[in-house]
Amino acid sequence: MEDAVRKAKGASAEKRHHCDQCGKRFTTKLILSRHMRVHTGEKPFSCDQCGKSYKSEYNLTLHQRLHTGENLFCCFQCEKKFATKHQLINHVRIHTGEKPFACDQCGKSFNQKVTLKKHFAVHTKEQNHRCDQCGKTFGDSSTLLTHLLTHSARRFACDECEKSFSFKSSLRLHKRLHSGHNLCCCETCGKRFTTRDQLEKHKISHSTDRPHRCDQCGKSFKGKPMLTLHQRLHTREKLFWCGHCGRRFIARSYLTVHLRVHTEERPFTCDQCGVSFKDKGSLKQHSVIHTGKRDHSCGECGKHLDICQV
């Protein structure tokens, strides 16, 4: 009787649904469709506060705690807050230097299990993440996702203007600028934003106050996000990892710009001559050739001047 029950359970848990990208198998079609987002990069669940997108509704719910302040876990060293206890434990290892995950091939240690897993591909040479566009295979999903950008870096194009986006959720937010629907407007300069979080960050540019001070070196900042980024220079915390070359960065935006070295994506195009650039700063410098104007920005108040006044 027990054997019959065991066999019945085994049959019900049979993994009949197969991923044609990496070979993994799943018990239901729903779980397979969720898994496919690892390969496609699709993030259908978008935060209406800041526009950040996630692969699952659960991860979006966790993220929204950062806005509401509900059930957050705080680091006693730097006061950074996290949505889950697991995220906090991983973060604390940056301060303690603990690296509990050791490679049994070479002895190298890591502070996160996921980093060890990525490293292990160096020894096993497993290339089970396949690109369905060109057939090229990769050792982990993050490297595959980076590679996919070379085929369709910005698949979702706006039919109102020339802008295009990597994710549908980003395009959806952008379209608010054209429709005027649910826009947040700055009462000082009239600039419009798709999310309230973007507006709040923008308002800081009008203020001359620098209330956020670094307790390590005394440097002050207008906004807390800039202070947090700055503090990572002291803690040497680099959370964002490049799947191509292994370089790490203190901010996701720095990683995004760096990835264009590998993908050769040049999203910033000069409307005068058509030359394209990897980052906005390079386009701005290039524009001087056409306009003859050099933009000098004041480090104290942010005011822009056509000539350098000292």
Q: Each residue of 142-169: pLDDT tens digit?
A: 677 666 666 655 667 888 887 777 667 7
Q: Is 6 a residue whose pLDDT tops 60?
A: no
Q: Which residues contact 187 (CB under 8 A, 6 or more apart)?
A: none
What are the residue boundaries of the structural domains of the chain, listed by start?
207-265, 270-310
CATH class of 207-265: alpha beta
pTM of the model: 0.38
193 φ, ψ (degrees, to nearest 5): -135, 150
Q: Is 303 a residue whose pLDDT tops 60?
A: no
Section 39-55 average pLDDT: 79
Position 48 scores a pLDDT of: 80
Q: Is 122 a residue whose pLDDT tops 70?
A: no
**Residue 85 tokens, joined:** 């206890």
DSSP 72: -
User: Tell me: the pLDDT tens digits for 75-98?
Assistant: 877 778 888 888 888 888 877 878
Please name which of 84, 123, 117, 86 lies closest in space to residue 102, comparing C-alpha atoms: 117
Residue 145 CB coordination number (10 Å):
19
